[in-house]
Structure 1
């Protein structure tokens, strides 16, 4: 435990120091490699400190703290790449948000169901809360990523300024309403329904207020380091994608995978401990935050920075989103899932990953 505390304290501070050392400088490939490694470590440290704060405030507020921390990292990475890449980064927010939805609603969601079913033959969760979360994700994704393809005020899959403002406000209202329901009015719908869980985090001693405040400060330092170091290595990420012959949308997939890796690990731990509901809260909460918070933030930034913003999905992506929503609803309705449902979601995730590199 002491070693874990040490590296999670050192990494955020080291990330800030490294950021001050490399800010405004052109870096060689040899320098990019350790900086990228430090960037990944800072992401892990940020989520660790978010988990400490989350454990202090308890469920279901804990999943909310984690989702917001991940969203801050995601928005920071998108904005740094948008500023550095200019017009070429117009679809970056769309690609990243869509990748986050596929990773959470199929990858993490399917993994949680698979692990839960392997552990107890059937993964049990609260259909009311999970269904409400999935319906909110589907509505947010449709408003922000599907409608721009069909609107006619602007040529191409773009929103007009008024439409973008409406989508941003609607996303915030939906997200805020869901959070009020999750944390106040119907929070029992988002608590684990199966007794006898054995996850070590569930039974760990609640962190003291002092430790929670310390983790809060280190969380801020880690987030600053992540966003700043991402700007430093962004040219290397783009060059690597181009050198591999991958489509530009792969940059968004890389960002989403980087940001959601710690969230996936947290969800896996919860599922292995029998807390499938917590895993699903993390998955769908991250998807919801990726749209409900990221799109409004990016919309404001695009207006402020006067950069183009392309949000509309293509036909292939819309098919994947539609089948994800339909299969997700059929999975959630019974309130229980077997290995089959987990495998179906993971198959959809595999299809997304394959088509991302071979469209």
Structure 2
């Protein structure tokens, strides 16, 4: 067996996602024991590592910010399909699932992922730089979408509770999709240079670009890896739920744990970029993923809820709204200067710890 299965494609990068999906098919619908659960967790971590590898191959071929966009969209689309399927099977009990998932994703990304990238980058390079013209527009769109979809429903009067009427839901879905579409256009076409790394904007100028075959293979294997990540995360969810119930913690903790597992590929890719002092790529991954989650999830769940007459709670409770407001304020201050140190990373991680603690001990 040669070191490469195909031209430019390492054997392990093919074998791991195929084996992980094989395991997923084999144990789907079963009640796995301790050994199978350990194997599933190992396969999940291996799939995450392979997904990051294939995302970097694609990014090297197509250039930034297209490479980070591919990973963000792939993860979001698969996560979205998981949310919609759980809405269809959960009925009334899943009315707040989309809201909780979107909120958890925003908090994990803006505090956990951003904070970790800032801390790793600043510890490695002391002071880190990034493009304000690329980060602040993304944050402006994120703040608008989160407020319109997660806060405003609490204050509308057409329907009672944290919900929107049918026409309001359609409007929110259209606005979310339009804003995300405009952001992607600006990021990839109109002002692409704003989202390139500082300096010459190249992440691998001295390495040979992957071939077209290797790039297409990496795209297919990236999708296979992400399917394995999401599927294995869903299999591990009952174990997490049992542990959460046994500890007497709220059910929302289960959603947070699943979201953290699903976001592992982007988190690892963002941290690796931060270690190489490519903070703009880290922010493209982090903020782009948060925007994709809202911009694609809200329209999809709106269509699902209206078409099937399913209940949909969108407005956040008071405590979560406070944490969201503090997160947006802190992130805007962090991104306003174009430079950051270990202090900003520490503050974001502390706020992330507050979010996790109050989720477990409300």
Q: Scaled by the length of structure 1, what TM-score is found?
A: 0.89
Indicate if the aligned counterparts of 2:114 and 2:345 stay in contact, CA closer than 8 A.
yes
| Residues 77 and 230 in structure 1, CA contact (< 8 A), matched pair in contact too | no
Deviation (angstroms), 1:331:
1.9
2: CA distance, partners of 1:99 / 1:28: 27
Q: 2:287 aligned with 1:284, yes or no? A: yes
Distance 1:282 1:330 in 2: 19
The equivalent of 1:271 in structure 2 is: 274
User: Where in structure 2 are the equivalents of 1:115-134 lying within 5 Å?
Assistant: 115-134=120-139
1:307 aligned partner? 310
Deviates more, 1:79-88 or 1:135-144: 79-88
CA shift in 2, pair 1:223/1:118, >3 Å: closer
Query: Which of 23, 28, 31 does residue 27 from structure 1 map onto?
Result: 31
- Alpha carbons of structure 1 residues 298 and 15: separation in structure 2 relative to 1, 3 Å: farther
Q: How does 1:308-327 map to 2 (within 5 A)?
A: 308-327=311-330
Q: In the alignment, is the contact (CA less than 8 A) between 1:93 and 1:252 conserved in 2?
A: no
What SS does the aligned partner of 2:10 have? helix
| Alignment partners' CA distance in 2, 1:13 and 1:75 | 22
Shift of 1:127: 0.9
State the alpha-carbon separation in 2 of the partners of residues 142 and 168 from structure 1: 13
SS state at 1:354 partner: helix
What residue is the counterpart of 1:335 in the other structure?
Answer: 338
Number of the residue aligned with 2:111: 106
Q: How does 1:40-189 map to 2 (within 5 A)?
A: 40-189=45-194
Equivalent residues of 2:59, 2:68 under 8 A apart:
yes
Shift of 1:36: 4.5
Question: Could you tell me how far apart the structure 2 residues matched to 1:264 and 1:222 are?
Answer: 15
TM-score normalised by structure 2 residue count: 0.89
Aligned residue in 1 for 2:241: 238
Does structure 2 conserve the Cα–Cα contact (< 8 Å) formed by 1:76 and 1:227?
no
> Counterpart of 2:250 in 1: which secondary structure?
coil
Q: Which moved more, 1:108-117 or 1:319-328?
A: 108-117
Partner-residue secondary structure (3-state), 2:277: coil
SS at match of 1:279: helix
Of 212, 222, 225, 2:225 maps to 222
- Give the secondary-structure state (helix, strand or coil) at the position aligned to 1:293: helix
Are the aligned partners of 2:153 and 2:162 in contact in 1 as well (CA < 8 Å)? yes
Provide the secondary structure at the position in 1 that maps to 2:14.
helix
Asked if the contact 2:75/2:226 (under 8 Å) is kept, the reply is no
Q: CA 1:299–1:107 in structure 2 vs 1: closer, same or farther (change >3 Å)? A: same
User: How far 1:155 sits from its partner (Å)?
Assistant: 1.9
Please say if 1:352 is aligned against 2:361.
no
Aligned residues: 356
How far, CA to CA, are the matches of 1:189 and 1:105 in structure 2?
Answer: 20
Distance (Å, rounded) in 1 between the aligned partners of 2:226 and 2:121 = 32
Tell me the CA shift for residue 233 of structure 1: 4.8
- The one-character-per-residue Cα deviations of 1:151-180 (angstroms, maximum 9, x if unpaired) are 222221112222121111111111110111
| 1-structure distance, mates of 2:269, 2:191 | 24
Distance (whole Å) between structure 1 residues aligned to residue 232 and residue 303 of structure 2: 23
Q: Identify unmatched segments of 5+ residues in structure 1.
A: none
Is the contact made by 1:74 and 1:255 (CA closer than 8 Å) also made in structure 2?
Answer: no
